[in-house]
Amino acid sequence: MPEEDVFVGREAALRQLVDELAAAAAGRGRMVTVSGEPGIGKTSLLRRFAELAGAPALWGSCPEHVAAPPLWPWEQVLRALGARFPQRPVPAPVAELLEGGTEQLVDGVDTAGAALRRFDAIVRHLIDASLAAPLVVLLDHLHRADPSSLRLLSHLVESVPASRLLVVVSYQPSEAAPLAETLAALARSGMTRIELGGLSMEDTRTLTGALLHEEISTWTAEGLWARTEGHPFFLRELVKLLTGERRLDQPHTAPVPVPVREVVLRRIARLPPAAAELLCVAAIAGRHFDIEVVAAAASVGIEAALEVLDAAVAAGLIVEDQQRLGWFRFTHAFAAETLYETTGRLRRVHLHRRIGAAARGGPAQAGRAAEVARHGGHRPAGTAGQDPQRKEVHQWNP
């Protein structure tokens, strides 16, 4: 099996999808959302489910880098339906869509009546087909869908419960702002939510073993999990890097793999500049950081700092520490490390000093003493004379 096709874990999510399909097949159509951060495995889960569903799976995906005409994902779904059931008569509005008839329809030019008739015809076509045989519709990367596609999905929702359709959509929560209305419509229909997190330690071990065609030790699996928290894309890239350098047994000290770094930097680049800048300072403070210290080191007022941090929280790059008021944490160690590594060496030294001074200047608080020790000019043992590098992020602030 090619390495890309190796799939592990997600038993609970697959079971849920299979149960939903059973309900749909029994005439109680269902809607399911699959959400999770970039690279967590949404598309992989949908693909795996399509393989084992035992019912025709009709795919529609929303492209990232090219502009697509209105209703593009639905066009793919309807094409897949036509390929699967070539004998089924195709209603005129559906045929028109498949012949590229909507390319000239820009929102607003298409009259409301024409759009509604087209939507009705598409919904009817899908529902009728499902009544003959249960169908799975998979809409991947819904956060990139055009507005017409989202409206059609909301229109379909009402008809699903009386059909034999299982509609599964995937999206990234940090990009979900354009989906607010659609998700509300799905919620009203009683959709099922599947939220994907990282793979478990055991799945991390299984995936690594499958990629390397050999068992790995618990110690190595724990090290890989600690660096990636089971994020499958991060894990695959880390394993590739470590095996390339023949040091799989040293996951703790590997640099951030280049593809991971690129993904992190792309997510940072989407933030407002003030938020990106504050995160750079925060990354020098460590994976866990006290916003008051970071704001002071960055010479930003605390109110302004909290405001810009909201964007980073919404983007899923950091989360608030529920135990300690005013503390935040980078969602992934790799994100903190990427920012740390991409900050110039001299600037890092300078920022360490400022963070140490800011921690000393603030009110006495648990955690501050450690902060002072970390940044107050005392390098951790074993790093004297070295570039203060990623390792410190873990050593200082696990």
Ligand X SMILES: Nc1ncnc2c1ncn2[C@@H]1O[C@H](COP(=O)(O)OP(=O)(O)OP(=O)(O)O)[C@@H](O)[C@H]1O
Residues in contact with ligand X by the rule CB under 6 A: 4, 6-10, 36, 38-44, 141, 172, 207, 232-233, 236
CA max distance for the chain: 77
CB-nearest residue to ligand X:
41
Q: Is 198:211 a contact under the CB 8 Å cutoff? A: no
Strands (DSSP E) found in the chain: 30-35, 57-61, 135-140, 165-171, 192-195, 288-290, 318-320, 327-330
Nearest alpha carbon to residue 358 among 300, 312, 306: 300
- Considering only the stretches 41-49, 128-136, 161-169, 275-283, report the one whose residues sit in contact with Mg ion under the rule CB under 5 A: 41-49
Pick what 225 binds: Mg ion, ligand X, none; C-beta below 5 to 8 Å, kind-dependent.
none
Pick what 39 binds: ligand X, Mg ion, none; C-beta below 5 to 8 Å, kind-dependent.
ligand X
Min dist CB 60 to ligand X, Å, is 14
Closest CB to ligand X among residues 123, 241:
241
Closest CB to ligand X among residues 42, 288:
42
**Residue from 43, 154, 159, 342 in contact with Mg ion (CB under 5 A):** 43
Min dist CB 242 to Mg ion, Å, is 25
Pick what 36 binds: Mg ion, ligand X, none; C-beta below 5 to 8 Å, kind-dependent.
ligand X
Pick what 41 binds: Mg ion, ligand X, none; C-beta below 5 to 8 Å, kind-dependent.
ligand X
Closest CB to Mg ion among residues 43, 154:
43
3-state secondary structure of 286: coil
Closest CB to ligand X among residues 7, 85:
7
Min dist CB 72 to ligand X, Å, is 16
Pick what 136 binds: Mg ion, ligand X, none; C-beta below 5 to 8 Å, kind-dependent.
none
203: CB partners within 8 A, 6+ apart: 8, 9, 230
Closest CB to Mg ion among residues 43, 365:
43
* Measured distance CA(31)–CA(171) in Å, rounded: 14
Min dist CB 20 to ligand X, Å, is 19
Q: Which residue, chain included where needed, has tokens 């209603």?
A: 91
Min dist CB 150 to ligand X, Å, is 18
Min dist CB 176 to ligand X, Å, is 12
Total binding residues for Mg ion by CB under 5 A? 2
Gyration radius (Cα) of the chain, Å: 25
Q: Is 238:227 a contact under the CB 8 Å cutoff? A: yes
Closest CB to Mg ion among residues 42, 261:
42
Tokens standing for 353?
A: 């000093």
Pick what 4 binds: ligand X, Mg ion, none; C-beta below 5 to 8 Å, kind-dependent.
ligand X
Closest CB to ligand X among residues 6, 55:
6
Closest CB to ligand X among residues 338, 397:
338
Q: Is 263:315 a contact under the CB 8 Å cutoff? A: no
Closest CB to ligand X among residues 43, 154:
43
Closest CB to Mg ion among residues 43, 200:
43
Min dist CB 251 to ligand X, Å, is 17
Burial of 273 by CB count in 10 Å (0-12 exposed, 13-18 middle, 19+ buried)? exposed
Min dist CB 315 to Mg ion, Å, is 17
Min dist CB 225 to Mg ion, Å, is 22
* Measured distance CA(10)–CA(200) in Å, rounded: 9
Tokens standing for 187?
A: 């919620």
Min dist CB 11 to ligand X, Å, is 10
Burial of 309 by CB count in 10 Å (0-12 exposed, 13-18 middle, 19+ buried)? buried
Contacts 24+ apart (CB under 8 A), 228-231: 228/198, 228/204, 228/332, 228/334, 229/198, 229/332, 229/333, 230/197, 230/198, 230/199, 230/200, 230/201, 230/203, 230/204, 231/37, 231/39, 231/40, 231/198, 231/199, 231/332
* Measured distance CA(159)–CA(157) in Å, rounded: 6
The residues that touch Mg ion, with contacts defined as CB under 5 A, are: 42-43
